[in-house]
Structures are given as structure tokens and as C-alpha cells.
Structure 1
Amino acid sequence: MLNLGGPNNLDEVGPFLLRLFADREIIQLPAQRWLGPLIARRRTPKVQENYRAIGGSSPLLHWTTLQAEGMVRWLDQRSPATAPHRAYVAFRYASPFSADALRQMQADGVRRAVAFTQYPQFSCATTGSSLNELWRAVRQSGLEDAFTWSVLDRWPTHPGFIEAMAQSVEYALQQIPAAEREQTLLLFSAHALPLKLINRGDPYPHEIAASMHAVVQRLGTRNPFLLCYQSDVGPVRWLGPSIEQAIPRIAAQGQRSVVVVPIAFTSDHIETLGEIDLEYAELAHKVGIRHFVRAPALNDAPTFQQALAQIVCDHLQREEPYSTQYRLRCPGCTNPQCRSIVNPVAAKVAPSVGL
């Protein structure tokens, strides 16, 4: 289960940021070997304060572990032919890293493996970077032949995921007074990306939009909705509009009730607990928004655990090494490692049909 990860305590914030700003697959800076560490060091005290405000650590490993446990229970029931199943967490910038997961998989005697991104929508900066790191770790560990792999690289409109998100939005709407509920703005929020990645052809924006429209369609409400982005850092241009810029503007237009929907985040972490719940909520109240509610992260919701299990079950039944889109590199891609896979499982061959 691939994800960004987060510091497990305040002392890990600095190393976490150093890894993040060293990763050219997400942020490309001039003189990055010098500028990246400089930005990381300067941001560390502020980011430590942000983590201190939410309890001193990231809850991402906690929630991912619970999601994994629930997914495996449901998956064993739905796909007994491939059982027993085991789940391993591989974070990009914090422990447990890909190498940690691979060592445990080898010790447990695993032979068939699925690299399952926990980012529903594909981006080269998130799923792509995590997969590239996974394949590097496989080669560096000498485990090229230890496992046969397939990749679950995206699931932005999977019915189970959309249902879980819609239930979360419905819960949040119930926190709005009935008289204002139908006029409440659904403010979908996703992590921003550098514009350089988008202009290169990254599919992230349209996959985010696909998820948003699928949730709105499932809700069947007449609420207005808007897509914004958050968490831009560093001296590069980022995808917008930013939620921080949007909140004062929608308030000036007369909007008084908002439900924020973290469409790209399936677990609580600093972006939901810190940015949305604290920073953006404070901003919203300052500019006159009376009701500012966040749709709960999916965390260990049974509906979402079942969705994860169904996503894997469907993938295993298809017997495909990756999705149709996985091998399509961005038109402006310059990274030869992108969209690779180590020791892929043999694809299912469709039987010939005589007509």
C-alpha cells in the first residue's frame, strides 16, 4: 500500500522535508542539491508547529494500517481463491519505506505482489514517484525475481470509493442547518501540483475532476460545487485556484455555508487536520462564512475498507499487470524510469472466438 507517509514524531519532520524537497519527481528546483535542503531546514520549525497542533505526529500510518487490516479481512472473503492475503505499507518519505516492506514480504514468503497506490487519482508526483522508488528498492535489494508484480495504479471513479466519499459528504451536510443545506457550497480540495508537471501532461487534474463529478452525481443534490487545491510550497508555480485564495472570494460573493471535501485524501493527516480544520476554518470564519464543515476522511470506515477490498478483488480477477493507461507516459516525460514494472505477472490472454 503506497503512500506519501508522514513524520511519526517531531524529530522526524526535518528528515521528512529533506526527502520531499530532494525528490525531483515532485518538485524541480534550480540548484536543487543546495536549494532543497535550504528550504527544508527553513520550513522545519513551522512544520513542527503544525504537527504539534495536531498531536505531534502524522496519523497516516495508523489509519493506513487499519485500512489494510479491514481490507484483508474483506478480501479473504471475496477472493478465497487468492487467499490468504497480507498487506504491507510502503511510504515515500517516512518509515516504513519500500525497502522495509520488501524485506518483510520476503521473510513472510510472499511470491505474488500487487503495488496498490493509496492515491485514488494518478500523478507522476505521487503514484509515479512511489512506484519508481519501489522498483529502485527492488533492484537495490536484489529481489528482482523474488515476486511477480502487478500494479493498481489508479481508481478515481471506482464505485466503492465514490460511495464511501458520498456517504462522507452526506454526513457533513447534515451538520449544516436545514435551511441553508441546499445552498451549501461543496468545496472539493486536492493537493496542488507544480504547474510544470501539469504542462508536461500529468493526468492528475482530469482524474481529480472525474472523482468530483462522480461524487456529485452519486449525491444527486443541487448543491453548487467547486474544485480547489491546497498545500503548495516552494518557489515554483502551482496548480490553482488555491483554497486559501478561494475562501475570501466566495465569501465576498455571499457564500455563507461550505462543506470541504478532501477528494484526494483518504486518510486524516496534516492537510486535513491542520490546514483545513485549523488554518482554513479560521480564515473562513474571519471572512464571514458561518458554517465551515469538512467531510470526514474515510480512515477506517467499513464502507471504504470494503471498497479497497473490492478494488483489489476486481484487479486480481482481471489478471492484468497494470491498467490501460499505466504505460502511457506524459508527452513531455524525460524520466526513462517512469511507468516501468519489475517482473510483471503474465497478462490473461482472451480466448479466441470464431464467428
Structure 2
Amino acid sequence: MISTKSWVPSKTLLPDIVHGARKEILCLRSSGTRCLKYVSCHSSSNKSTPQASLVICSSSIDGRTGLSWGSFCQDPSFRRNTVGQTFCSVGSWTYDGAALENPSHVMEEKVGVLLLNLGGPETLNDVQPFLFNLFADPDIIRLPRLFRFLQRPLAKLISVLRAPKSKEGYAAIGGGSPLREITDKQAHALKTALETKGLSANIYVGMRYWYPFTEEAVQQIKRDRITRLVVLPLYPQFSISTTGSSIRVLQHMFREDAYLSKLPVSIINSWYQREGYIKAMADLIEKELQSFSEPEEVMIFFSAHGVPVSYVEDAGDPYRDQMEDCIFLIMQELKAREINNQHTLAYQSRVGPVQWLKPYTDEVLVELGQEGVRSLLAVPVSFVSEHIETLEEIDMEYKHLALESGIKNWGRVPALGVTSSFITDLADAVIEALPSATAMYPSTGPSEVVDHDPFQYLIKIFSGSILAFILLLSSKMVMAVRDLVL
């Protein structure tokens, strides 16, 4: 973090920062060194509700030359109601799409972009081990600390019991998930888009629960000696269970590796509010509406992947807030195009006996049919690639339920995939994120040694085992496990 005294603007080369524009500022460091910086800002499209923003900045300093690569600035109040706020990145990378004359050492940078995604079984034989990896993740099944030692045995049990039903779903969409193939195509398209903008970068794909695993991608990044990395999760909205889980893996790997710990990294935690993404989603919706005989009568039905309520209320997951903001921004864009259809948001893919975000997609579909809605356009808003939750859950299960409930006309917006406007916006996001890259763990000192008391550890294991045995015998626990695996 830098204080307001670290950089003093002494000359403004452009008078104002406007939407989509950049301002160059000639800065004077407190030591007297002069440098040229720019501020790149963009704001959401609704100009009727401007808000004053307190901008907090952090920066990294190149130790070899003392040059500030730049800062990333964000309104700290950003959580809900993002319309009217401004997002800024400060650095020395581009100006109006053209490359600046960068210092010579910048030209030697070897840039990498790591795309993160869920992963999926590619064959029916992969389904059970894939499910094991999924449920073994403590960000998916959050056990109390005392029972963490049960994580893997429980994951094994659930994966074995759920595998037959899951195999049926994957068999219905061709015998495996297309997610890896689509993500590879997105990686190739992103590399091409970046080259078009003058940036050569290595693109890596890291999956959380199946090949190529995130760990494999990171090892390749290390072998390639990447000197500056942008991490881009392919989840528009942040959730503990998606982006958060993937970032946790990265943090663990980077903390324990001398090279990786000092690698400048910029993580794009969420990007649903980007103008390019919003417009790309609106384009797809507008196009699909035209396939209905009466487009203005169609209900736009946003279906998002759900998360347990406890993630939001107890762990502070911003997912629900970001999802609601995302829907608001998409609808604002549609209204700007004079598309004023009614819309609603629901959450799909709940598992187990715990409370998930409501309303539930299956329940809302039945209610809409009972209320007389006859035309429905489903929009998978939390997914940018086709996979089992779009191809089987939405296209088959929910479509059947909707038609059975009285809805006569059904349509579905495809996932963004390699839509050119979407890929172009991801390329812009990467370029804007580059200047803010900083080392995750810059300290080169020895790792902290934790003194574990073996006696206390045995007591915890013994106590936990007794409690676990009691809970597993209880009727409530039996019912919970049954609901989770069926």
C-alpha cells in the first residue's frame, strides 16, 4: 500500500478521466525521481447515479531500476450497487491501444496467463475419481476443524455412491464433459487476441478437479521461467467454492516455492462488471429473443449455480451480491437497447441437506408455469463454457420440467465460449491487470516452523473420532449422508 505522499501529480497531460479513457500523469516521487504514469479508468454504464469514490492504491517497485510498474486502484466500498462507480488501473503499459515506449527491461518480461476452471471427467471411467477430488475439497464440503480428518473418507464414500447417477448424466451428453476442450479453445483464442493487441503471452490452463490440474499448470509456468503472471479464473463472479478454492491452491504452492513466491502475480478475482462481458451477454440474449414468435412476451430466466447460504452469511462470500449486481447490469444494457422483458434469477445445482441460495431453479420453473408464463429464455449466467450443468441439467432436466409445468416455448442462451467480443474483453482485462502484478510472498527468509505438540494432536484425533462415531450413528447424520449422496 502506498500513502498519498508517495506520489505527487505535478502535471496533468489530459484534463479529465472519462469513461473508457486514460489520463497520463507526470509524477514526482518523494525521493525526487520523476516518472510517467497513466491512469486507466472505466465505469459502469448508468451515469444517472454517480458516486464519489475513495481510491485505495497498491504498487510494486522494480528492485533493479526503482521503476514503479504501477498500481491497482479500486473503490473499497465495492460490493453492491456497482453502477456509477469507477475502476482504475495505474501503470505504464498501453495508451489508447498503442504500446508505449517501455523501459528495456520490460521488453524482456516473459508474460504468462493462467486460466482457472473447474474441470470435468472426459470419460465415464473418470467420473468417480473426479467426484472424489470435488468432495475432498474443504471449500466444497466445509467440515468443522475437529472433523477435518474425515474429509477424504467422506469424499470417498460420497463419490462411490453418487458415481452411478452422475455417469447417467455424462452419458446423456456424450460420455464426458466438453469443458477441457472448450477451455483449450478459449486459451488459444485469448493468445491470438493478446497478440493482436501487441502482447505475446504464454497461456496455461489449470483445472481444479481434473486434468490438467492447476498444480500441473503451475509447474509448467515455473519451467517456462515466466516473469510476470496474470491469473484469470473463468468464473465471472467470485465465490469461495470456485475462484476462492483455486486461489487457495495457488497460495499454498507459491508460499512453499522460492521461485514462485517472488513471481509478480496479478489475480483477477471477478470480472462480471466489465463492460465487454455485460455487452457480450446482452448480445446473446438479444439474438435468442428473436427466435421466439413474440420476443417481447418472453421471460428472461437467469439460472446461476448455487452455493450454501452459510457461505454467504457466515463466511462472507460475495457471490450472491455479485450475481445480483451482474443481472442488474445486464438488464440495464438490454433496456438501453429498448428490450424491456421481465426477468428473474434463480439458483441451480444444490446438493445435500443444507440450505442453499434461494429461489431454487426447479421450484421457480413450476411457479412460473402456474402463473401463466408461456415463453421462457434460460440464461446460464455463472457459466462461460458448456458443461454438464448447461447441457444436461438445464437443456434436459429443467426444459422437461418447464414444459411439464405449462411453459410452451423454451429457449436457452448458449454459454459465451469463444465469442469474439468476450475473448477481446478478457484480453483487455489481462493487459489492464499486468501493471499491478506483485509477489505473493516476497520474503526470502526461511519458512516459519510450527511446533506441533504430538500429545495435543492425539487428544484431538481421539476426541474427534469419538464424536464422529456418535454423529455417524445418529439418525440425523444418516439422513444427511443419504440426502447428500442421492
TM over 0.5: yes
Query: Aligned to 1:172, which of 258, 282, 288?
Result: 288
* Residues 262 and 440, structure 2, Cα contact 8 Å, conserved in 1: no
Give CA deviations for 1:135-174 in whole Å, capped at 9, x if unaligned: 2233456543463211111111101111111111112111
Give CA deviations for 1:197-243 in whole Å, capped at 9, x if unaligned: 01122100011111111111111121111110011112322111111
Matching of residue 157 in structure 1 with residue 273 in structure 2:
yes
Matching of residue 208 in structure 1 with residue 323 in structure 2:
yes
Counterpart code for 1:160? G
Inter-CA distance 310–242: structure 2 relative to 1 (3 Å threshold): same
Alpha-carbon deviation of 1:32? 3.8
Inter-CA distance 107–144: structure 2 relative to 1 (3 Å threshold): closer
Structure 2 distance, partners of 1:12, 1:137, is 25
SS of the residue 2:265 aligns to: strand
* Residues 160 and 310, structure 1, Cα contact 8 Å, conserved in 2: no
Query: Aligned to 1:4, which of 97, 101, 118?
Result: 118
* Residues 116 and 234, structure 2, Cα contact 8 Å, conserved in 1: yes
Structure 1 distance, partners of 2:188, 2:399, is 32
Inter-CA distance 97–141: structure 2 relative to 1 (3 Å threshold): farther
- Where does residue 218 of structure 1 map in the other structure? 333
Structure 1 distance, partners of 2:152, 2:354, is 16
- Where does residue 26 of structure 1 map in the other structure? 140
- Where does residue 312 of structure 2 map in the other structure? 198
- Where does residue 117 of structure 1 map in the other structure? 233
Structure 2 distance, partners of 1:33, 1:64, is 28
Structure 2 distance, partners of 1:278, 1:253, is 22
Counterpart code for 1:69? H
Structure 2 distance, partners of 1:88, 1:300, is 16
- Where does residue 297 of structure 2 map in the other structure? 183
Larger radius of gyration: 2
Alignment of 1:1-355 (within 5 A): 1-29=115-143, 31-78=150-197, 80=198, 83-139=199-255, 143-145=259-261, 147-178=263-294, 181-200=295-314, 201-220=316-335, 221-316=339-434, 319-321=435-437, 341-343=440-442
Structure 1 distance, partners of 2:417, 2:442, is 32
Inter-CA distance 95–140: structure 2 relative to 1 (3 Å threshold): farther
Structure 2 distance, partners of 1:140, 1:50, is 39
Q: Which has the higher strand share?
A: 2
Inter-CA distance 62–33: structure 2 relative to 1 (3 Å threshold): closer
SS of the residue 1:23 aligns to: coil
Structure 2 distance, partners of 1:189, 1:143, is 41
Inter-CA distance 343–100: structure 2 relative to 1 (3 Å threshold): farther
Structure 2 distance, partners of 1:112, 1:73, is 19
Q: Aligned residues: percent identity?
A: 39
Counterpart code for 1:152? I
Counterpart code for 1:58? S
* Residues 132 and 159, structure 2, Cα contact 8 Å, conserved in 1: yes
Counterpart code for 2:157? L
Deviates more, 1:291-300 or 1:135-144: 135-144
Deviates more, 1:30-39 or 1:101-110: 30-39
Structure 2 distance, partners of 1:252, 1:145, is 56
Unaligned runs of 5+ in 1: 323-339, 345-355
- Root-mean-square deviation over aligned CA pairs: 1.9
Counterpart code for 1:273? L
Structure 1 distance, partners of 2:213, 2:180, is 11
Structure 2 distance, partners of 1:146, 1:114, is 14
Work out the number of aligned pairs and report it: 320
Counterpart code for 1:188? F
Question: TM-score if structure 1 supplies the norm length?
Answer: 0.86
SS of the residue 2:297 aligns to: coil
Inter-CA distance 342–236: structure 2 relative to 1 (3 Å threshold): farther
Structure 2 distance, partners of 1:147, 1:93, is 25
* Residues 229 and 437, structure 2, Cα contact 8 Å, conserved in 1: no
SS of the residue 2:436 aligns to: coil
Alpha-carbon deviation of 1:119? 0.6
* Residues 263 and 440, structure 2, Cα contact 8 Å, conserved in 1: no
* Residues 262 and 441, structure 2, Cα contact 8 Å, conserved in 1: no
* Residues 98 and 137, structure 1, Cα contact 8 Å, conserved in 2: no
Structure 2 distance, partners of 1:26, 1:225, is 30
Inter-CA distance 44–143: structure 2 relative to 1 (3 Å threshold): farther
Q: Which has the higher helix share?
A: 1
Structure 1 distance, partners of 2:256, 2:170, is 33
Inter-CA distance 315–231: structure 2 relative to 1 (3 Å threshold): same
* Residues 281 and 330, structure 2, Cα contact 8 Å, conserved in 1: yes
Query: Higher RCO, 1 or 2 (CA under 8 Å, sep at least 6)?
Result: 1
* Residues 165 and 215, structure 1, Cα contact 8 Å, conserved in 2: yes
* Residues 119 and 209, structure 2, Cα contact 8 Å, conserved in 1: yes
SS of the residue 1:182 aligns to: helix
Counterpart code for 1:132? R
Structure 2 distance, partners of 1:148, 1:8, is 33
SS of the residue 1:39 aligns to: helix
* Residues 260 and 293, structure 1, Cα contact 8 Å, conserved in 2: yes
Structure 2 distance, partners of 1:3, 1:193, is 17
